[in-house]
Each structure stands twice: as structure tokens, then as C-alpha cells.
Amino acid sequence: MPDVACVVDPDGVLLYVSAAFERVFGYTRDEVLGRHVFDLVHPEDREATREQAARLMEGLGARHFRNRYVHRAGHAVDLLWSAQWLPEHGVRVAVGRDVTELRRLERELEHRANHDALTGLANRQRLHELLEHAIADASRTDTPLALLYIDIDAFKAVNDAHGHEAGDRVLVEVARRLQAGLWHGGTVARMGGDEFVALLPGCDDQGARGVIEALHVQLLVPFGVAGGYVPIGASIGAAAYPADAQQPDALINRADSAMYACKRRRAPAVTPA
């Protein structure tokens, strides 16, 4: 059968493996019989697998579970197991299905749902999740938290003069530079268009000012487009938790308002005709 079947004693020593074991894990039957099955489990999943086995023998654990094994070639293999403890025989019997490709697709879909397709940054939805966790952590540990709202200046002129493809390349480079100028442990998210947000856990007002200066420096170097270089700047507004707001949306709105105030201050004066 295509699925792996194995039998182990109460300590996890392999007593039997089916022919599919070699196809899935790369080990022949002779190489694994007599070995502890936990030695083949991925190190990060080993303790949880031991606990699952112990609970199964106590009649408390779920019969179905997932874990990862290490293939003989060194890569990880994701398995979905169905296991049963047979106390009258003193063995655990398990049947495992290789779900590595399914897990890869799950991770890919999860990444797409939480990241911007163009820049690879966290998207608006993911930012809200991260911000909720960051506020909870800041409240629990009584540590500061800063949020920066970043709007790229004159980006529309880039699209108008050089086309949307050039504009997309500029946005990708903007994302890279913003990450390069970030506070340690911070996250940059793309809100949409030419607007970005930087989440800075553990960052106070002074630290936020330092990050803003670093971001301005990163964006100071002109961006290369077909036919030359274009200057790109940014208007950046900051908001602090808990001084400015205590809720995620309120904190984002406060930083957004501060960004627009910054943009108005930097706008050139209009000379009457």
C-alpha cells in the first residue's frame, strides 16, 4: 500500500515497517528495525511526538496527528498519522501518509493570505494581527511600542513618467530599503499603493525618531528607472502606545494623521497667479 505502516514497542523501538517506509523515508527495513522511531523524527517535533505517544498509551491522546521526519537524504517529510495502542499485544500500530506536498501548498496559501504579492511584505490583514499581539505584549510587559505610517512622496509622478512597471520596481526597492532601515525586531507592512507601516515593538519616542531618520537616509538615494534616476522621499508620521492610542485601528489612524500633518508641513507654498 502507498502509506507507511509500522509497529513499535512501548519504548518506541521499531518492530515492523512496511515496504513504503523506504520510499517515504529513504531507509531500508533492515536499517531501521530495532531503532527507536523517535530518532527519525524531526528534532523540533520529537518532544511533542513522545508526549503524543505517551498520551495515546494512557488512552488520552488523539489517534490522528501530524509530525515531521527526517529523510535519509536530510530533508523533512511531513506525515499525517493514524495510531492505535494495543495493550493486549504491548505495541503501537500506526499508518502514516506523506503530506509534504499538501503542507507546502498550505504554507504557500498562508503566505499569500498574509503577504503583499508585489513586495513580499506583510499585508494589511497581517499587520492588524501583529499589532494586536504587539499591543498585548506591550501591555503585559509595560514596554513601549511605536508605529510609523509612511507615504512615498511623488510616487504618482514616477508612474506617470515611466509607467506602472517602473513604479512596481520602485515599490519593491522601497520595501527593501524600509526593511534595511528598521528597528531591530520591527516589521514593515504594505497598506496598499505607496503607503507602508512600520511596527516597532520596544521602541520609545526617541527610538522612533531615530528610525525615521534612518528611513529618510535609506530613501535619500535616487531610484534607478529606465533612462535614469528619480528622487524619492517619504512623509512619515509616528504614533506611540499607549500615549496616543490603545487600540490597533486607533493607533494606525493616529500615525496616519501625523503623516498627513508632516506632508502638509513639507508641501511647497503656492504662489498666487
Give the residue numbers marked as catalytic: 194
Q: CA–CA separation, 29 vs 243, rounded Å?
A: 64
Torsions phi, psi of 235, nearest 5? -100, 125
- Per-residue b/e over 143-179, b at no fewer than 16 CB within 10 Å? ebbbbbbbbbbebeebbeebeeebbebbbebbbebbb
Contacts of 247 (CB under 8 A, 6+ apart): 135
Amino acid identity for residue 174 in this structure? V
Q: Up-side HSE of residue 120: CA atoms within 13 Å toward CB? A: 9
- Cell 513604479: give the residue: 167
